[in-house]
Chains A and B, each alone.
Chain A
Amino acid sequence: MPTIIACYKWVLDEQDIKINPGSLDLDTSRAKSKISDYDRNAIEEAVVQAEQSGAEVASLTFGNSKAKQSLKDALSRGPAKAYWVNDALADSADAFVTANVLAAALKKAGQYDVILCGEGASDTYAQQVGPRVATLLGIPAITFVSEMKIEGDKVIATRKIGDCTEVVTSSFPVLVTVLPEINKPRIPSLKQVLGAAKKPITEWSAADLGLAAEQTTAKNKIKSIKGFVMSRKNVIYKDGTPADKVAGLVASLKKEGVL
């Protein structure tokens, strides 16, 4: 019976982040967290594949103590158990650190045939943790997958890469990063939500994984994070009849010389 591990990141919901108009600093004080959108596709795909191949599914995340809230959400989506690397180091982690931690956790978990990740995280969208983890584990990575199936001990996946698709076949163990179009994550049922509370959770700290300080220190040095300001003309026609507004817009576009 194959083992599938779906990795996810517990991220701030960008819709709740406000930008301070003067300083352009981000105000995250009222931001709720969520399982990164693309990672929901990874969890869903793990569960879909398990339904077809009889595999066992576990989830894996690296987050600070607040990521505890994510475990029930993840487990209600179908995995039988959860691994959680609970460490404040997650706050300063870049993809280098995250990949080191996840790879170490996967080694400690011991058994993995297929590792699933989203194509990128919805906060950083750095699109690198998946292939990094595969490289660290010395296994193949099949990235940007729009369709996959498991046959025996092989994964057959269709990658969608810019202007072409290609079909890639790899034996276990293999890491797959999925595109959002691969599936539509189901909304957990009440029964699944209630059942999630009974599923086993394994919790580790970074120290439990035997990682050296160097491996948990971010390589990317952040100088600043500021709200993005789109500087545009903002000429909006909102009063008058539709014909008036269209006349106003057409006059503006003619003046711009774009018609």
Chain B
Amino acid sequence: MAGIWIYSEDTIITQQIITLGRELAEKLQQPVCALTLYAQDAQTLIAAGADKVIVMKGDNPWPESYAEAIAAQAEAQQPGVFFIGATLRGKDLAAKIAAKLQTGLITDAQAVRVVDGAIETERMLYGGLAVCTEVLSGMNVVTIPPRAYDVPAQDAGRSGEIVTVEVTAAAAMAVGNVCPIVRKGADITVAEKLVCVGRGLGKQEDMQLAQDLAAAMGAELCCTRSVAEDYHWLPNEAYVGLSGQKVKPVIYLSMGVSGQVQHVAGIRDSKLIVAIDMNENAPIFGAADYGIVGDLYQVVPLLTEAIKNK
């Protein structure tokens, strides 16, 4: 095995994965090599724990266009394992790299550990119903969700090798009209407290109940997929679940959420899960620390008052 490689188009995420990389490096006695598109970030990555940084220098600003060049580097240098930040851009690039290298790719590894000298990963299957443990062999590519690890402290005294590679980044497509998605609410992925709205809520006007509770708690609002996609009561960016946002608040409180497995997959890192729902058999109660079985139209206003007067 020749090195632990780490890449993300987002330097913060590259650093987060370096935390994992260092942990594995000690156990496997392997160097950590970070790849970046940004020469100005190379020193930061060394200070974060990389032993080597490869700067991919090309003139295409579109990160996905570097897949071929990055795959060529990996082909030539044969790293033992290649971790890529699981942003959507990262997942696109990782799949193209894995196809070029004709190798396996583990998407969204939830856990990475060393067992008997080999790297093992865990990931979700069937919308979060099951956990699949896989053993890496050959030059595997693994994508790691953002914020899975903390950014390591910068050690300005660290030194490392910085190599710049001039590459041609293929531009098979014209990319334009890049525009940021303007969030109507706060970023729920970093919110400390969340109130989640599900289909138990009868009509859009009743969103006021959720807003009042959220205001009393100092929480942000989020929702299930159908509330965003079918009813448009909240923007698509506010839905939590496997294909939506993954949240990790201190408290997540749901009202009228049945708790389909794909939704629960998005909340499982919450510190405390609280559920209010009419249906005693709703799966959300199996995933909850605390819950109330009852009519949310009665329970939620009482809860809002109680929290205001606490």
Contacts and interface: CB of A to CB of B under 8 A. Distances in A.
Interface of A: 12, 14-15, 17, 19, 26, 38, 94-96, 99, 119-120, 122-136, 139-144, 158, 160-170, 179-181, 215, 218-228, 230, 232-238, 242-243, 245-247, 249-250, 252-254, 256, 258-259
B98 interface: yes
21 contacts: A26-B129, A96-B99, A96-B105, A119-B243, A124-B107, A125-B108, A127-B91, A134-B96, A161-B88, A162-B89, A163-B181, A221-B135, A222-B133, A223-B135, A226-B131, A228-B124, A234-B286, A237-B293, A243-B302, A246-B303, A252-B290
A167 B176 contact: yes
A14 B263 CA distance: 13
A129 B130 CA distance: 21
A188 B76 CA distance: 50
A158 B176 CA distance: 10
- The bracket for how many chain B residues form the interface is 35 or more
B193 to A, nearest CB: 8
* Chain A interface helix/strand/loop/mixed: mixed
B230 to A, nearest CB: 8
Contacts of B127: 14, 122, 125
B132 interface: yes
Interface in B63-82: 67
A136 B306 contact: no
A181 B293 CA distance: 32
Nearest to A219: B104
Given A96-B99, A96-B102, A170-B172, 13 more contacts: A14-B261, A17-B129, A95-B95, A119-B243, A123-B126, A126-B107, A169-B173, A180-B225, A219-B140, A232-B289, A249-B291, A250-B307, A259-B307
Contacts of A125: 107-108, 124-125, 127, 242-243
Contact of B173 (A119, A131, A170): A170
